[in-house]
Amino acid sequence: MFLTFKVCYLVMAITLWLSAGTVTANKVPMKLQAFTAMFKLSKASKAVPAHVAHNIEQVLTQADVYADIVIDLYSIKSLDPNRSLSSAAAIAFLTTQKAAELRVGAKDFAAKATAAAGAATYVAGFIDQMTRIFRQAQASTDVCIAAGSGNTKLNNYVGLEGCLTGADVFEKIPSVQTGAVSDVKTELAAVAALNCVNLAGASGQCLLTQTDTTHGAYGGSRNQPASVKWINGLVQFGSAALTTGAFTKTETTIKDVPIIKTAVDAIDAAKMPECATDTTAELLDKLSDTSKAQKFENFETTPKAAGVGTAATKLTIDKADLDTLAAALKAYREDPSRKSKLAQARREQQIAVAKQLDEVPTQKQQAECKAASNKEANSKDTEVCNKKQKKSECKESDGCKWTSDKEEIGSHCKAKDGENQTNAGTEAAAGAKEEGKKCSEKTKQEDCKDGCKWEDNKCKDSSILVNKQFALMVSAFVILVRLQHYKDICSIL
């Protein structure tokens, strides 16, 4: 009996010892300070989708603004064909190429922006859910979020605005960027600064932060983990006291959290395309902004890049030319007669340019069409005359001529003017070539006049150069028209 009493006493003592020895390292509310830092990170993360969308829109707008430069330059030239606009062709080509490059860049940028938006809002979702759970656990005495210095209960949602604005009311993800945008990396650094900070509230209990080695909340002897991680490991509650152990990551190691690393890397990749900020873009930004005075310097490029040659050597667009072009654009756009209807003026210019596709742009093509027309007419006359086998039927009124002095029957009826028509066509085509030849034979710049222009150290036919510059914008369409409507053009002539 004595032994039984001792055994019972021992069992009771062990039970009391186990109860007294339960490890409840935390089991206290967490200060609002921690949630405020996290809500700012959540808010910055939610701003990423609108921010990257704004950047995509900016790139596409930039491309449209550059396209307007080209249209306006064409309009200026059409209003005064004799006006000299040095370097206008080079600038028009650079502008067209840059606009196309920006649109391609925007397409690539959109894919990266989508990844950044998804990864960033994923982080925000984790933070918001943790905040909601802790805020939902607020009771009359026991709480999980401690306000003030940690001694009072948080009764409202002040300090949680980036995550919650009311019961189960989450902060919305903005669709449009407004105002300044908080930097995700800056807010991450603020969260990392909570490492080793005392975040334990002084009153109330919170089972969400409790860890026991036996039964209690989580962690213990039943093969449960020693700590439970929140937000993919950004926050964790374990055997370490809440005063030091909730935020284990520093500014250096915070990217070890997988979802944080994914978000930061995706945001870094979704930067503005380099083509939107390079030296050519900077120049075109200045030219396009006629609302204020701009300061230009000589611009270095190559003939190939500027569309005025094939060489990869240096080409300098003079500062004075840029000043002149900027002044011309400003005067055109601010003219009272069109200032309020620039869009309409640009549309009309685009229509005018499109109509030029129906015109024969060069003297050479006119000569070729004339020669082809003469050849076709000659062929018809020859066919008619060849059918006539009698001298009496071979009449000059039909464009025929009897070529035999002896015979009155036979194949002696020929087209009267066939030879002359052929020669006329040949001479017309040759005349077009001769015009170009006159210019090319001039080897000195001072002699390059009278319909000629000095370019690339050569004297060229200026009419051909004008058509060449126009072809930079519409060459594909011109070729199409020539292939499909060549006969129609000739018949018009």
Q: Across 218-339, where does the E strand assignment appear?
A: 228-230, 235-237, 299-301, 315-317
**Cα 17 to Cα 13: distance, rounded to the nearest angstrom:** 6
pLDDT at 114 over 80: yes
Does residue 16 or residue 314 have the better pLDDT?
314
pLDDT at 301 over 50: yes
Report the relative pairing of strands 152-153 and 164-166 from DSSP bridges.
unpaired
**Where residue 243 sits, what CATH number does that domain have?**
3.90.150.10
Domain boundary residue, one of 358, 390, 409: 358
**Cα 358 to Cα 189: distance, rounded to the nearest angstrom:** 64
**Cα 197 to Cα 467: distance, rounded to the nearest angstrom:** 74
Check: CB of residue 154 under 8 Å from CB of residue 147. Answer: yes
> What burial class does residue 369 get, using C-beta atoms within 10 Å of its C-beta: 0-12 exposed, 13-18 middle, 19+ buried?
buried
Does residue 474 or residue 26 have the better pLDDT?
26
Does residue 83 or residue 222 have the better pLDDT?
83
**Cα 304 to Cα 224: distance, rounded to the nearest angstrom:** 69
Q: Over range 365-384, report the average pLDDT.
A: 67
pLDDT at 456 over 50: yes
Backbone dihedral angles phi then psi of residue 47, each to the nearest 5 degrees: -80, -15
417 — pLDDT class (breaks 50, 70, 90): low
Whether residues 193 and 61 fall in one domain = yes
Residue 12 lies in a domain: no
69 — pLDDT class (breaks 50, 70, 90): very high
Task: Please report the pLDDT score of residue 2 as a whole number.
Answer: 43
Whether residues 118 and 149 fall in one domain = yes
Whether residues 256 and 301 fall in one domain = no
Whether residues 477 and 385 fall in one domain = yes
Q: Which segment of 88-97, 323-332, 388-397 scores lowest on mean pLDDT?
A: 388-397
Check: CB of residue 86 under 8 Å from CB of residue 229. Answer: no
Task: Please report the pLDDT score of residue 441 as a whole number.
Answer: 76
- Per the listing, tokens 């596409």 go with 60
Residue 30 lies in a domain: yes
% of the chain residues with pLDDT over 90 = 31
% of the chain residues with pLDDT over 70 = 74
**Cα 251 to Cα 326: distance, rounded to the nearest angstrom:** 48
Task: Please report the pLDDT score of residue 367 as a whole number.
Answer: 65
Q: Over range 73-101, report the average pLDDT.
A: 89
Check: CB of residue 77 under 8 Å from CB of residue 88. Answer: yes
Check: CB of residue 135 under 8 Å from CB of residue 168. Answer: no
Whether residues 255 and 353 fall in one domain = no
Q: pLDDT tens-digit profile of 243-289? A: 677 898 999 999 999 999 999 999 999 999 999 999 999 999 999 99
Residue 404 lies in a domain: yes
Q: pLDDT tens-digit profile of 172-216? A: 888 888 767 779 999 999 999 999 888 888 777 888 887 665 444
Whether residues 284 and 243 fall in one domain = no
18 — pLDDT class (breaks 50, 70, 90): very low
Q: Which segment of 101-105, 180-184, 312-316 scores lowest on mean pLDDT?
A: 180-184
Check: CB of residue 220 under 8 Å from CB of residue 248. Answer: no
Whether residues 100 and 181 fall in one domain = yes
Instruction: Centre a 10 Å sphere on the Cβ of residue 389 and count the other Cβ atoms it contains.
Output: 13
Whether residues 67 and 207 fall in one domain = yes
Average pLDDT for the chain: 77
Q: Over range 399-412, report the average pLDDT.
A: 82
Most trustworthy range by pLDDT among 120-124, 307-311, 371-375, 442-446 = 120-124
414 — pLDDT class (breaks 50, 70, 90): confident
Backbone dihedral angles phi then psi of residue 141, each to the nearest 5 degrees: -120, -50
Q: Both tokens of residue 177?
A: 């960027």
Residue 19 lies in a domain: no
**Cα 392 to Cα 408: distance, rounded to the nearest angstrom:** 8
> What burial class does residue 419 get, using C-beta atoms within 10 Å of its C-beta: 0-12 exposed, 13-18 middle, 19+ buried?
exposed
Whether residues 217 and 317 fall in one domain = no
Residue 18 lies in a domain: no
Residue 427 lies in a domain: yes
Whether residues 109 and 244 fall in one domain = yes
Does residue 446 or residue 33 have the better pLDDT?
33
Question: 348 lies in which domain range?
Answer: 279-358
Task: Please report the pLDDT score of residue 365 as a whole number.
Answer: 62
Number of domains in the chain: 3
Whether residues 62 and 164 fall in one domain = yes
pTM tops 0.85: no
Residue 428 lies in a domain: yes
Q: Over range 418-446, report the average pLDDT.
A: 57
Residue 15 lies in a domain: no
Domain boundary residue, one of 301, 330, 358: 358
Domain boundary residue, one of 323, 358, 393: 358
Task: Please report the pLDDT score of residue 371 as a whole number.
Answer: 67
Q: Over range 114-130, report the average pLDDT.
A: 94
Whether residues 346 and 454 fall in one domain = no
CB-based contacts of 29: which residues, under 8 Å, 6+ apart? 143, 144, 145, 146, 150, 200, 201, 203, 204, 205, 206, 209
